[in-house]
Amino acid sequence: MQPRSPLVSVIIPNYNHARFLPQRIESVLQQTYQNLNVLLLDDCSTDDSRTVLARYAQKSPRIELMLNERNSGSTFRQWNKGLARATGTYVWIAESDDAAEPTLLARLVACLEANPAAVMAYCQSRLIDAQGQPEGLALLLADGLGHTDYCRPGRELVEQYMPITNIVANASAVLVRRSALAAVGPAPEDMRLAGDWLFWIRLMLEGQVCYVAEPLNLFRTHGQNVRSQAQGVGLVEMARVLGYLRRTVAIDVVTYRHALVMLTERWFQTFIYSPLTREVHQRFMAEMRKFEPGFGRIFAQVLVARLFRSRLSGFKMLVGDKLLGRHGR
Would you state the pLDDT for residue 329?
A: 38
Answer yes or no: is 1 within a domain: no
pLDDT in tens, 66-96: 999 999 999 999 999 999 999 999 999 999 9
Would you state the pLDDT for residue 144?
A: 65
Is residue 319's pLDDT more than 80? no
Would you state the pLDDT for residue 25?
A: 98
pLDDT grade, residue 233 (50/70/90)?
Answer: confident
Q: What is the 3-state secondary structure (H, E, C) of the chain?
A: CCCCCCCEEEEEEECCCCCCHHHHHHHHHCCCCCCEEEEEEECCCCCCHHHHHHHHHCCCCCEEEEECCCCCCCHHHHHHHHHHHCCCCEEEECCCCCEECCCHHHHHHHHHHHCCCEEEEEEEEEEECCCCCEEEECCCCHHHCCCCCEEEEHHHHHHHCCCCCCCCCCHHHEEEEHHHHHHHCCCCCCCCCCHHHHHHHHHHCCCEEEEEEEEEEEEECCCCCHHHHCHHHHHHHHHHHHHHHHHHCCCCHHHHHHHHHHHHHHHHHHHHHCCCCHHHHHHHHHHHHCCCCCHHHHHHHHHHHHHHHCCCCCHHHHHCHHHHHHCCC
Is residue 110's pLDDT more than 90? yes
For residues 114 and 238, state if they share a domain. Answer: no
Residue 215, domain CATH: 3.90.550.10
Would you state the pLDDT for residue 320?
A: 47
- The residue among 227, 253, 282 that closes a domain is 227
Is residue 308's pLDDT more than 50? yes
- The residue among 171, 203, 227 that closes a domain is 227
Q: Whole-angstrom Cα distance, residue 323 to residue 7? A: 55
For residues 220 and 257, state if they share a domain. Answer: no
Is residue 2's pLDDT more than 60? no
Residue type, 213: A
For residues 243 and 185, state if they share a domain. Answer: no
For residues 25 and 97, state if they share a domain. Answer: yes
Is residue 6's pLDDT more than 60? yes
Task: Report percent pLDDT > 90 for the chain.
Answer: 74
pLDDT in tens, 139-158: 766 556 888 999 999 999 99
pLDDT in tens, 234-286: 899 999 999 999 999 999 999 999 999 999 989 988 888 877 889 999 999 99
For residues 187 and 276, state if they share a domain. Answer: no
Instruction: Pick the more confident residue, 225 or 8.
Output: 8
In terms of residue numbers, what domain contains 251? Answer: 230-326
Task: Report percent pLDDT > 70 for the chain.
Answer: 88
Total domain count, the chain: 2
For residues 133 and 243, state if they share a domain. Answer: no
